[in-house]
Structure 1
């Protein structure tokens, strides 16, 4: 049985990674199309990866962004997030990855990455950076540039810490979920203006902003059964 992690999704396509073999695939569970992506240029056993996957409407291209972190160690504890990871990108259909060089951010691993208005967004991880560096980071698929984005006012990033944050999308808008304490979640939605790189809070009538998490054993048995025969 093939062992994959779901690194991202877009327009029905799943971006899958196999960390043990350092391979990446695209899979559409609705059409059963399965595509193995070319090997990237950064192949190292002491590297962990963060993937971004999205669609560039202007050129009608799917792109996969790979960020390679050197695995560090503090007090005998290994962690993924050494400063200045390397970035590379693949336009699906191309045979080679293009190097984008080193970046100045440590990005929180999935499922924090989302795509809004042609931009991939992550949280900048504060384990290495100063607390003042806690910011959202965007990657524009059109110009392939990273940018630091002002925080939504209601998110409470500094109060609760980025390790408690998950980014999601709701109706095409960026939303944040904060795990405040003991499974209690805070939800906030905001409109992201890609031209100004700013946010505007959205109030959803009748929706509370605090929830209690309920455990659910979700799985992808349907997808697994299709992958077994490939």
Structure 2
């Protein structure tokens, strides 16, 4: 090992999976130094994204499971600290980090490849002062602010009046807070658009699992359902920019001029609009250049078949290695490969998972959750404080000893 040039070792390490690299850190100090280097971590992640390697799928059911994308054969239970069995949500992934929700007060970030875990500080959901209202549905999102290289969690809590019995009625207000990993703190967003009041509909969001923000172009996206009573006959895409921490307008695709349900997804980093027409067929559109309305392109269209009685839910997850197929999640029950050339579909059988699930794609990475400089500074400060305490004990002891002699 010592006879090999370090650039050769580095080039070999770029091609290795994350779990192997984690083991190799114990080989030698030079290897550990290479693998822990921020430039190496960034380059390894970029190569994984470019070659579509180190991909995994998280299955969200009663429990969390992980499936290797290249194999797509067996689901393995995902183990993580503070696991309390059933009920944990994985509401987002970015650069190998998963955002987990155990309860409304228990959120965490987790890297399954390195097993780094960080529990987020608790931030209460506070109803507006002076009004009688209660907390209702809560939306979550997770992503990276590329400009500052910070990872952020967004929480949008909706309130309705205590005497409001109709969940389809008008909601009172929203609270939006953003957690910054760099600052390890929450910040309340005060400038909120008026349309947030009408964003939630009970059956629309709960049955179609639209509570998780979809990350694309540095923006988290949700769907605002149609409100016929307000003259909004079609769904709209709502965006939250992680850099400016403001809600932004998102160009909509020109879907067919008829009633449809809209959903959002991300495919290879691009925003997707999924238009569902009465559960008969589904069109998937891709925004190839973020923010440009004219870049919306219809990627595929899926018809109801004998194997699929109703298309209640469909979402694209990832391209195949050679980008000739797209993996689809259908009805929260099955995966299917869609061939972009032949326009035919093929079922994918995955063993070991529950019969009903949601899916989240993540790439294995070495991206740290803890800021190593901050941790080292904290440890250094703790050592300094311990030295001060030891010196004080020694000085106190010597002082008492002199007094006894006198």
> Under TM normalisation by the shorter chain, which class is it?
0.7 to 0.9
Per-residue CA deviations over 1:73-93 (Å, capped at 9, x if unaligned) read: 898443697254111111114
1:200–1:69 Cα change, 3 Å: same
Normalised TM-score (structure 1): 0.75
The structure richer in strand per residue is 1
Shift of 1:192: 4.0
CA-atom RMSD in angstroms: 3.1
Q: Which residue of 2 aligns with 1:104?
A: 194
Regions of 4+ moved over 4 Å: 71-75
Equivalent in 258, 263, 266 of residue 166 of structure 1: 263
- Structure 1: runs of 5+ lacking an equivalent: 221-230
Shift of 1:97: 0.9
Shift of 1:174: 1.5
Q: Distance in 1 between the 2:188 and 2:88 partners? A: 24
Q: Distance in 2 between the 1:112 and 1:76 partners? A: 25
Q: Distance in 1 between the 2:97 and 2:277 partners? A: 32
Q: Is the CA contact (8 Å cut-off) linking 1:40 and 1:97 kept in structure 2?
A: yes
Q: Which residue of 2 aligns with 1:142?
A: 243
The structure richer in helix per residue is 2
Equivalent in 252, 277, 298 of residue 180 of structure 1: 277
1:112–1:209 Cα change, 3 Å: farther
Q: Distance in 1 between the 2:171 and 2:296 partners? A: 33
Moved more, 45-54 or 127-136: 127-136
Per-residue CA deviations over 1:158-191 (Å, capped at 9, x if unaligned) read: 7334xx3221112222112233234643322222
Q: Is the CA contact (8 Å cut-off) linking 1:177 and 1:187 kept in structure 2?
A: yes
- Structure 2: runs of 5+ lacking an equivalent: 1-83, 128-133, 305-310, 312-329, 335-354, 359-406
1:203–1:126 Cα change, 3 Å: closer
Q: Which residue of 1 aligns with 2:180?
A: 91
1:69–1:160 Cα change, 3 Å: same
Q: Which residue of 2 aligns with 1:116?
A: 216
Shift of 1:111: 5.2
1:159–1:192 Cα change, 3 Å: farther
Q: Is the CA contact (8 Å cut-off) linking 2:270 and 2:290 kept in structure 1?
A: no
Say if 2:132 is the partner of 1:35: no
Q: Which residue of 1 aligns with 2:348?
A: none
Larger-Rg structure: 2
Q: Distance in 1 between the 2:226 and 2:357 partners? A: 31
Per-residue CA deviations over 1:109-134 (Å, capped at 9, x if unaligned) read: 53562111111122223347541684
Shift of 1:35: 1.4
Q: Distance in 2 between the 1:129 and 1:211 partners? A: 32
Normalised TM-score (structure 2): 0.45
Shift of 1:22: 2.8
Higher RCO structure, 1 or 2 (CA under 8 Å, sep 6+):
2
Shift of 1:71: 4.2
Q: Which residue of 2 aligns with 1:198?
A: 293
Equivalent in 72, 82, 96 of residue 12 of structure 1: 96
Q: What is the count of residue pairs matched by the alignment? A: 210
